[in-house]
Structure 1
Amino acid sequence: MGVNYNTIVEEFEWDIPESYTVTSAVGDHAASFGDRVAVHFLNEDGYREELTYNDLHEEMNRFANGLEELGVEKGDRIMHLLPRHPDTFGIQLGALATGSLLVPCSSMLRAKDIEFRANDCNATTIVVHDSLTDMVEPILENTPLERVIVLEGDEGGLDDEQWSTFQSVSDGQSAEYDGPALTSEDPMSINYTSGTTGQPKPVLHKHRWQYCFNQINGPYWWGIDEETDLEEELLWATTGTGWAKWFWSPVGVGLTTGATQLIYDGDFEPETFLEILEDEGVTKLCAVPTQYRMFANADLDSYDVQLNDTLSAGEPLNREPIERIQDAWGVTPRDGYGQTETVALVTNYPGIDVKIGSMGKPTPGVGATIIEVDNEKEVEPGEIGEIAVPVDSPAIFDGYYEKPELDEQKLSGEYYRTGDLASQDEDGYFFFEGRADDIIISSGYRIGPFEVEDALISHDAVAEAAAVDSPHDERGSVVKTYVILAEGYEGSDDLKVELQEFMKEETAPYKYPRRIEFVDELPKTSSGKIRRVELREQEQEKHS
């Protein structure tokens, strides 16, 4: 049944409780339906574990007590470097209960990336899985990190007072915690995001952000509202713990609504994921377009799934997988758009017709619009402009952590500019048109070309490089680099492989250039800046 979009937008009102925090929400769930399963965990080795809301609440309190005993105080920054793990929520919630700020890190980063983040936000603690400690050990002397807590670590193997295990920190602690009084306006997290130039930027969010996910991403993307019977639903978001998307869905919707969610720790294999959908009875799936494209190549009709919602985010999803999934399962994948800095800004939310190729319509209460690139005037339907949100919207971030100069750049005007270009049709649907800042989106990952170029140029064979997105059937886009070789080097297939392997060591693996082309010169402006737009146009022509 359809909905009246204009009525919903007009009637929407923000009413953010002052006392709201993620931890208080979990406490309320534990009190109301503590025996409901919160986390349904499994991994590729067949291990299973279930945690109820009572379990999460108690694990949160034990860890918070342990952190406080170690000297952690309100306002401290706590980094975490964790795989999908059943204890991840307890760790995150326990840190938040102390009033600390979470600083999530992806396992796809490198030690130097961890070092930069620790120094930039002056982090004092890091929680790291035992399998990832080699990313932390080399950088400790060069950072303010005072304590390292190892998940699944062996206490006997730690001979330094700086190191402890998650188990030793939590064991013996009370399941009750009397921590600092927190409100929705207290800082919650620092998510680092990369643009096209410079170092990653520390995006600061308050606890209010998670309430906004509950109010926006819940009903207007996941299809979860007051009428949803959560005991009949099983949510699965395929994201990892180090990405902002983890706060969008597993925390921002899963925990805040009181739903039961599946967490699977294993590499993506289409057939494996399809079997999990069928065997575990997942009802709502959130995945990236690359995964949907690979699903569409499988025999979908042979899987008996119970899905009532399929959500897609990270980049536009093309027509073929949408129609294939519609035909096989009777559900329509619904695109949504947002950023690390925001909640879902534009979605094909339940009740409105899905327009294939469209982001959807602006979500109620957020105020997303499209303005001209050079001023703050809204564009007419059909014109391309930049997606923007009023700076006083509660659904965007609270500035960059201790970076007033960046705040001045991004938040001093009437709008926060997303850097993404779009157009709007006569019916109010947004259509993605490109990146104003040359960002590359591949398989849902946002990749700044500067990061790729900077790493590539550090190879002796490379004199200059330019990175752009190149169309790809499964990944949407891949990183393509145009390379000018240093004197004494000649282009060859072997050198391409060598550069790719070098990049996998220098950067997160998803950032390496899957396509490399050796050239004699790069298109530049009169001031010497690379004209990536020309290179992107070349790629579009080659792969159209």
Structure 2
Amino acid sequence: MPDLPDRRLFRQRAGWDALRAGFRWAVPARMNIARLCCDDWAAVAPDRVAVIHRHADGRRETWTYGQLKRASDGLAVALAGLGVAPGDRVAVLLPQHPAVLVTHLAAMKLGAVSLPLFTLFGEDALRYRLSDSGAKAVVTDAATLDRVMALAPGLPDLATVITTGPAAAPVHAFDTLIATDPRRFTPRDTAAEDPAVMIYTSGTTGDPKGVLHAHRFLYGHLPCMELSQGFFPQPGDVGWTPADWAWIGGLMDMAIPCLFYGVPLVSHRFAKFDPEAALRLMAEERVTNAFIPPTALRLMRQARVSDGLALRAIGSGGEALGADLLDWGRERLGCPINEFYGQTEANLVVAACDGLMTRVPGAMGLPVPGHEVTLRDATGEVGTGQVGEVCVRAPDPVMFLRYWNKPEATAKKVVDGWLRTGDLATRDAHGQITFHARDDDVITSAGYRIGPVEIEQALATHPDVVMAAVVGAPDPVRTEIVVAHVVLRDGADWSGMEQALQAIVRDKVSAHCVPRRVIRAESLPMTATGKILRRALRGA
């Protein structure tokens, strides 16, 4: 089968220090993620398998690069005909499915900005992101269509709604649009610095922020992807992640890099994560490489491991893994679990990988080749063993362009040539970085980074809630659970209140943000300026 030239950045195995010393970025000035991840492969190997989709009923569907190109070209032509122009935002509100990739590719071919959104977002969370982004079009499915249409009258920028399910005017049918004749279509010639994708943060200290990324951020992910996945790719590799492709982890830590390297990508939606089903899926599809969040790994550890696993390496990130889980991966899964660190604004910049360094359980590892990462305080770089904020040197190919419509927040994020992550860590004598604490209020639960503000706003919509504060509490499986502290109006009845507030969060924000505990409080700790001191509530 014909192939593109070898795209790997690391063709010789070496130690971590040697890999860092010898690495140089080679990001082309003109590039487009859709061309690199679809059209280039379709030109030389149109029948090469790009995606293997497993339907809920067990049916298996394959998409080749040729099919991806035809569908994304057709959708691009259709979107242009519906008024989508370069720079417009195209929302992708779909679960794991080839249609997600087709939509991303089509938007990028137009020079538009794809906007992945989580299908479990509630009414308020979805309205905010569609409104704040000014999304011009949204592609969704039958399960989410009614939610979108209910919001549409209040979204003046949203001109086009497309569904993968049954459609009737004014909604357009996805299958009809991808069949549009693309013969006269030429993808837009984009620069590496042109916007490509916008991914919203969790809203840790305020409203969620739209993180705008350029086409170059694909290249920024590749060094960590190759090393954390065992000098990826190798012949016969197959990739998979249970993480939703609406998050930067699912999309950029596995899905898009697989397309770039020509590695078949397994696609499947779990209505609810099932560890034994996930293990069976990996065995049946002969998955060699996976990105699996820590909570999913902990659940897998409690399940029966399937026979026939072909795993070479697993990448994981978002929270530290203990020595016992690392040992379990080597012994029961037959592969290392390599950890990495990053955030939506600058992803995959630190990693800990078997065979390339001494693994220190609990440590995030060392800066990835191509990324300069250090720990700083208000006066500069901190010393060994001292606590400092994790900072990434700017510019960096993986780094965001800016926050959408938030120039002041952007200015605070990148200061004096350093992107400030807001995460505190220590560094040992060998340079290994270990997470220490957060200086914001993000909650890390089951692989999700959850911000308290949206949840608090939702809780406050209950007529009996005077004030609410949301924090994380330690949990052995999920790392943290969401805990809500609420102050009720005088005379309010507490009976059934916990269930009612949980239902509000599920409907307005998302199921994964629902507080597992709701605590009634007489008052909440406050600063002199009237801000809630969430840190005083942790552990309560």
Common topology (TM > 0.5): yes
Identify the match of residue 229 of structure 1 among 228, 234, 237: 234
Match of 1:522 among 513, 524, 529: 524
Please give the residue correspondences for 1:339-354 in structure 2 after superposition, counting only pairs within 5 Å.
339-349=343-353, 351-354=356-359
- Corresponding residue of 2:150: 138
Q: Scaled by the length of structure 1, what TM-score is found?
A: 0.92
Amino acid of the residue matched to residue 501 of structure 2? L
Counterpart residue number, 1:177 = 185
Which range moved further: 166-175 or 289-298?
166-175
- Aligned residues of 2:125 and 2:454 also touching (Cα < 8 A): no
Cα distance between partner residues in 1 of 2:186 and 2:252: 28
AA aligned to 2:69 is H
- 1:110 is displaced (CA, Å) by 2.0
User: For residues 474 and 519 of structure 1, do their structure 2 counterparts lie closer, same or farther at Cα, with a shift above 3 Å needed?
Assistant: same
Q: Which amino acid aligns with 1:484?
A: V
Counterpart for residue 542 of structure 1: none
- Poorly superposed stretches of 4+, deviation over 4 Å: none
**Matching residue of 2:113:** 101
Q: 2:426: which partner in 1?
A: 423
Cα 1:427/1:197, change in 2 over 3 Å: same
- TM-score normalised per structure 2: 0.92
Aligned partner (choices 359, 366, 369) of residue 364 of structure 2: 359
Rounded to whole Å, the distance in 1 between the matches of 2:510 and 2:474 is 20
Q: Is the 1:211–1:256 contact (alpha carbons within 8 Å) kept by the matching residues of 2? A: no
For 1:299, the aligned partner's letter is R
CA offset at residue 176 of structure 1?
6.3
Aligned match for 2:44, one of 19, 24, 32: 32
Amino acid at match of 2:27: I
- Alignment deviations for residues 115-146 of structure 1 (CA, whole Å, 9 cap, x no partner): 32232222211111122111211121221111
Cα distance in structure 2, aligned partners of 1:91 and 1:195: 25
Residues 64-463 of structure 1: pairs in structure 2 closer than 5 A: 64-143=76-155, 144-154=157-167, 158-160=168-170, 163-174=171-182, 177-214=185-222, 216-225=223-232, 228-230=233-235, 232-267=236-271, 268-300=273-305, 303-349=307-353, 351-372=356-377, 375=378, 377-463=380-466
Post-superposition CA distance 1:509-534 (Å, at most 9, x none)? 11111012223233333333333223
> Is the aligned partner of 1:23 residue 2:34?
yes
Please tell me the residue identity of whatever aligns with 1:307.
Answer: L
Contact 1:479 1:512 in 2 (8 A): yes
AA at the equivalent of 2:46: G
Asked whether the equivalents of residues 197 and 451 of structure 1 are also in contact (C-alpha less than 8 Å), the reply is: no
Equivalence for 1:507: 509
Q: Is the 8 A contact 1:97 1:179 kept in 2?
A: yes
User: What secondary structure does 2:131 align onto?
Assistant: helix
- Aligned residues: CA RMSD: 2.0
Distance 1:342 1:522 in 2: 34
- Rounded to whole Å, the distance in 2 between the matches of 1:30 and 1:241 is 23
Shift of 1:250: 3.8
- Equivalent pair of 2:121/2:508 in contact (CA under 8 Å): no
CA 391–461 in structure 1, closer or farther in 2 if over 3 Å, else same: same
Q: Decide whether the 8 Å contact of 2:196 with 2:214 is kept in 1.
A: yes
**What is the CA–CA distance in structure 2 between the aligned matches of 1:457 and 1:376, rounded to whole Å?**
40
The answer as to whether partners of 2:228 and 2:313 remain within 8 angstroms in 1 is no
Residues in 2 aligned to 1:379 and 1:207: alpha-carbon distance in whole angstroms: 33
Secondary structure of 2:315's partner? strand
Whole-Å separation in 1 of the counterparts to 2:15 and 2:129: 45
Shift, 1:376, TM fit: 5.3
- 1:81–1:104 contact (8 Å) kept in structure 2: yes
Q: Check conservation: 2:219, 2:398, Cα contact below 8 A.
A: no
Deviation at 1:262, TM superposition (A): 0.7
Residues 247 and 271 (structure 1), Cα distance of their counterparts in 2 relative to 1, 3 Å cut: closer
Change (3 A) 1:113 1:449: closer
Q: Which moved more, 1:42-51 or 1:315-324?
A: 315-324
Q: Alignment partner of 2:363: what SS? A: coil
Q: Of the candidates 480, 488, 508, which is equivalent to residue 477 of structure 1?
A: 480
Uncovered stretches (5+) of structure 2, i.e. residues with no partner: 1-11
1:58, 1:175 within 8 Å by CA — same for their partners in 2? Answer: no
CA-to-partner distance for each residue in 1:477-517, whole Å, 9 max, x for gaps?
Answer: 1011222222113545x332232223222221111110122
Instruction: Measure how far apart 1:244 and its partner are.
Output: 1.9
Given that residues 123 and 508 in structure 2 are in contact (C-alpha distance below 8 angstroms), is that contact kept between their aligned partners in structure 1? Answer: no
Q: Contact 2:205–2:440 (CA<8 Å) still a contact in 1?
A: no
Count of residues in correspondence between the two structures: 525
Per-residue CA shift, 1:221-266, capped at 9, x if unaligned?
22344xx434x11111112132222331344311122211111122
2:59 is the alignment partner of 1:58: no
Shift of 1:52: 1.3
**Equivalent pair of 2:31/2:189 in contact (CA under 8 Å):** no
